Amino acid sequence: MQEITKIIYSNNFFNVIKVENNLQLDNILDEREAVIMILLEGKIYFYNERILKEKQYIISKVENVLKGIKILSNNYKMIIITLKESFLKEMGIFKIEKTIHTNLDNYCAELIRNLKEEYLLENPCYPIEVIVKFFKIHNFLSEETLKYFNILEKNKYQKVFKIIETNIKLLPEDIEKKIFESLKIEKKKLEELIYISQKLTLEKYTFKLKLEKIIEIYLSKNIALKDIIGEYNLKDTKRINIYLKKIYRTNIKELKKENNLRNINTSEGDKKLKIKSKE
């Protein structure tokens, strides 16, 4: 049974530690006020007959956790985030009076997956985001802190849609790459954001936006439809027709007819203007 205790991120306020099979957890938790312990594999017994199982976590005062720990499995893997009292005060996190013991949901599991050394080197603020999310779920944040982080999230959301619109001619996967590079937002969070605001996946939302732009250009300028479609990296005309029929109650053929009528009317109008000017 190999023991691993590795600090993957550390500062004066908190530590992020990867632990495997270490039986001396009290050394890790020394001089800290609070702890978030996320068990990825194994089973651990805590005080008051509390058993932490795989993919569960505890948020607690350090003194409570240290009352009695027993490893109940041959191996275990855990992420431990230890927090100093000064950090809790600075961040407007309420004092932890009771221990939280609950299952790790998919969203939090995704956050934890990114707690790796290489990722944290490029994204040093990411651990704060993770900590805030865990405390936000259980209403440990003051109203002022909550308001501040909601503003930050709103700004990030606005930037996401700005990046999509600016790069709408690119393929969906390239647009997604631009968002990740610029905002360091996790994939699940991005999909969640698009779905909450648009009730669509990112891929379907970009397709819808591309189509809106194509229709707008096609009906306002004398450009061949196939050229506009190509410029926006769309090739599946069958899918385009299905979407046009579903949303706009039309299809490519009808669009072309409408555009031809517009061109004829414009042309007739130009002729009348020329005749009038000669008179």
- Domain-embedded: residue 145: no
22: in domain: yes
Does residue 19 lie in a domain region? yes
Q: How confident is the model at residue 28 (pLDDT cuts 50, 70, 90)?
A: confident
Distance CA 115, CA 99 (A): 23
Structural domain range at position 12: 4-117+130-138
Q: What CATH number should be reported for the domain holding residue 55?
A: 2.60.120.10
The secondary structure of residue 141, as a DSSP letter, is B
CA separation for the pair 29, 82 (Å, rounded):
7
Question: Which structure tokens are listed for 198?
Answer: 């648009």
Of 92, 109, 138, the position where a domain reaches its end is: 138
Overall number of domains in the chain: 2
Task: Provide mean pLDDT across the span 162-170.
Answer: 92
pLDDT of residue 43: 92
For CA atoms 143, 149, 155, 159, the dihedral sign is negative
* pLDDT of the residue at 272: 39
| End position of a domain, from candidates 107, 138, 169 | 138
Residue where a domain terminates, one of 85, 109, 138: 138
- Mark whether 27 and 134 lie in a shared domain: yes
Mean pLDDT of all residues in the chain? Answer: 79
Is the residue at 190 inside a domain?
no
Helices assigned H by DSSP within 12-51 = 25-29
Segment 216-234, tens digit of pLDDT: 887 777 777 778 888 888 8
Based on the fold, state whether residues 11 and 134 are members of the same structural domain: yes
> For the chain, what is the radius of gyration of the CA atoms?
28
Give a yes or no: residue 173 inside a domain.
Answer: no
Task: Looking at the structure, tell me whether residues 255 and 134 fall in a common domain.
Answer: no
Please check whether residue 62 lies inside any domain of the structure. yes
3-state helix, strand, coil in the chain (%, to 5): 55, 20, 25
Per-residue DSSP letter, 193? H
Sheet holding 70-71, edge to edge: 50-53, 43-46, 70-71
Instruction: Read off the tokens for 194.
Output: 């698009």
Residues 235 and 134 in one domain: no
Confidence class for position 257, pLDDT limits 50, 70, 90: low
Contact assessment for residue 200 and residue 194, using Cβ atoms and an 8 Å cutoff: yes
Where do we find the tokens 């769309």?
234
Q: How confident is the model at residue 250 (pLDDT cuts 50, 70, 90)?
A: low
Q: Is residue 174 part of a domain?
A: no
pLDDT tens figures, 141-157: 888 888 877 777 777 77
Least confident of 44-48, 123-127, 151-155, 164-168: 151-155
Q: Where residue 243 falls among pLDDT bands split at 50, 70, 90? A: low
Cα gap 53→260, rounded to integer Å = 67
Q: Name residue, tokens 């190509």.
A: 230
**Using CA atoms in the order 113, 114, 116, 118, what is the torsion angle rounded to 10 degrees?**
150
Q: Give a yes or no: residue 201 inside a domain.
A: no
Q: Are residues 218 and 134 in the same domain?
A: no
Q: Comparing 61-75, 141-155, 199-213, 248-262, which segment has the lowest mean pLDDT? A: 248-262
Other residues' Cβ atoms within 10 Å of the Cβ of residue 163: 18
Give residue-wise pLDDT tens across range 171-198. 888 998 888 888 777 677 788 778 777 8
